[in-house]
Amino acid sequence: EDSEVRTNAYRTHFSDRWIRDELQIFAGGATGVDILDRHKIGRDPGNCSRNENTASEGGGVFVANKDGCVRAIRSYMGFNSAPYLQRQHFFYEQQQTISTYIRAHDTVSDFRDLYDYSPAASGMRYFNDLNLPGVLIDGVPDDVNHGQIHWEMVTGVQGTIIMCHSRETDIPNYRTHSFYGDDATPERVQCTGDPYQYGTSGLDFDPVSFTDPVLYPTSYSSLAFSRIDCYGAPSQTIDAAILHHLRSTTPLQVKAVALTPPPPIFVDNDAGNDPIGNDPRSSDPLEDGSPEHPFDTIQEALDYAWAGDTVIVLDGAHTGAGNHDLDFKGKAITLRSQNGPSGCIIDGQDRYRGFVFHSGEHQDTVLRGLTIANCAAERGAGVSCVDGSNPTITNCIFRENSALGSKSRAPDAYGGAVYCQASSPQIVNCTFYGNSAKTKGGAVFCEGGASTVTNCIFSVNKPDHVYGTGVNVTYSAIQGGWKGEGNMDRDPLFADASQGDFHLKSQAGRWDPVGKRWTADNVTSLCIDAGDPAYDVGSEPEPNGDRINLGAYGGSVEASKSR
């Protein structure tokens, strides 16, 4: 075998199931020399009847070398006459966890798990929790304290390895003991690896009997031990080892709490604390987007907001600087009116564009419940979506917006209300009335992308309603007709389009925004209950026919009622 695991922090190598014979540390500018002779498992030094060599030669099975984006796994079983003994390695970028499950049919005595370092480890220092001053690894024997330990550390210019030990067993009062040997000329033969002992260290286990669950299914003892090896920068102190040990023995504490949505951000161009109403040049000095101190302009709120925020625009006609050419700047923000499109108007004053999406916005960027009126631009007077921007536009009214063109720059003009270039917005439950373009796409013009238009109403747009490629219109009322599932050519029967009231007439009742009441008509619009059946009726009042209405009020509390 010739297997290795390599990360930015370390590299280690296996030449057979149980034979790990190289370790290099790269973290923090470590030298990267191979400091490991062998990861040894077996009996007393000099007793060569059981060790990693004989384990690899004996019966057993290699389970897996498996790597992935988070960790790599290595697993194998079998150790001479203990075929169910198992070891698993979990490798992470700067750490390795090694778990060994003792499953032997007879008494296991003189069992040790050690790291024997190579001569290249000379100059490093060895520490454990019984030998805090540490000893130098140099091939010269040292006097050290022995006993039950919880962590070890070897550190020097070659890098740092911190080893934290744990065990799981049902054997009462079971203990492990530390082992350390540093001798370039050891008296006892080294059964595996090179003939030296450089900083050989690890654990010596008490004898254990009958740990094989196959032979002793009702009376076997359970024993497993683990070491967590952390690979770090050169020449660390024992504080690092103590910290790693605490982390390895302290369970991760997790607490689940309900997420609290961030408070909405408010915009009011005539707030009570403004020195002069309807004048963004005269602002509340304490404005912060709260209900008490709202922003004067929509752009202020969009700039202040983070992804996931909601900006609420209060009723009024929002005009002038900070209320045109509005830019979400790629943020996943919901911008909506407080009370629906009837009273919340973005007015371009026949000079300015309403909104521009040009920063790769996605469907979680939402424009909802606004009237966008009297806007003007060469292309996309109400909304321009370019360069792969795909916002969601819903429950909006587009009226009397114009793409007029420019003699000096663009004699052709497209998309009086919405212009899409290589973009795929979702336009749902919107009303397009009286929009115009000098060339094509009086309401919507698309070139490229895959825009969708659903549950919308198009009326009195010039020279046409929708034009271009990459647009799919379904379940919409389009004056003059349009091919597509669920589309129809019907008079929407607006309440009073000349006065900006685009509620649908209904004998069962429609909302009157002026009188603030429900009123009944002598006719009912066929746009009621004509939306895509896959859409929920949302907040539509009863009776609603269990199907969403077309137009800007579909799915809302102001949706006209069904007969």
SS3 call for 242:
helix
User: Which DSSP helix (H) or strand (E) runs through 306?
Assistant: none
- In total, the chain counts a number of residues equal to 563
Q: Regarding beta strands 72-77 and 86-91, do their DSSP bridges make them parallel or antiparallel, or are they unpaired?
A: antiparallel
SS3 at position 539 = coil
401 CB contacts (<8 Å, ≥6 apart)?
Answer: 348, 354, 372, 373, 374, 375, 376, 381, 382, 416, 417, 435, 436
Q: Which of 66, 48, 184, 169 is nearest to 116 (CA)?
A: 184
Question: How far apart (Å, rounded) are the C-alpha atoms in residues 368 and 428?
Answer: 10
For strand 111-117 and strand 36-42, is the pairing parallel, antiparallel, or unpaired? Answer: antiparallel
**Residue, of 258 and 435, whose pLDDT is higher:** 435
How far from the centroid of its chain's Cα atoms is residue 111's Cα? 46
Residues 6+ apart with CB under 8 A from 205: 108, 111, 112, 113, 176, 177, 225
**How many CB atoms sit inside 10 A of residue 481's CB?**
12
- What is the C-alpha radius of gyration for the chain, rounded to an integer number of angstroms? 38
State pLDDT tens for residues 238-258.
999 999 999 888 878 889 988
The dihedrals phi and psi of 401, each to the nearest 5 degrees, come to -100, 150
Q: Which residues contact 488 (CB under 8 A, 6 or more apart)?
A: 476, 477, 478, 481, 526, 530
- Compare 25 and 283 and report the one with higher pLDDT: 25
pLDDT at 150 over 80: yes
- E strands present in 395-522: 397-399, 402-403, 418-421, 426-428, 431-433, 436-437, 444-447, 451-454, 457-459, 466-468, 471-474, 477-478, 494-496, 501-504, 510-512, 517-519
pLDDT range class, residue 106, cuts 50, 70, 90: confident
pLDDT over 90 (residue 151)? yes
Q: Which of 285, 281, 265, 290 is CA-nearest to residue 273?
A: 285
Q: Which residues contact 184 (CB under 8 A, 6 or more apart)?
A: 119, 139, 140, 196, 197, 198
Lowest mean pLDDT among 115-119, 195-199, 291-295: 291-295
Mean pLDDT computed over every residue of the chain: 93
pTM score of the predicted model: 0.59
User: Do residues 150 and 177 touch, judged by C-beta distance below 8 A?
Assistant: no
pLDDT tens per residue across span 485-503: 999 999 999 999 999 999 9
| Mean pLDDT along residues 249-269 | 88
**Taking the chain, what is the end-to-end CA distance rounded to the nearest angstrom?**
79
pLDDT at 405: 58
* Tokens read off for 30: 């470590």
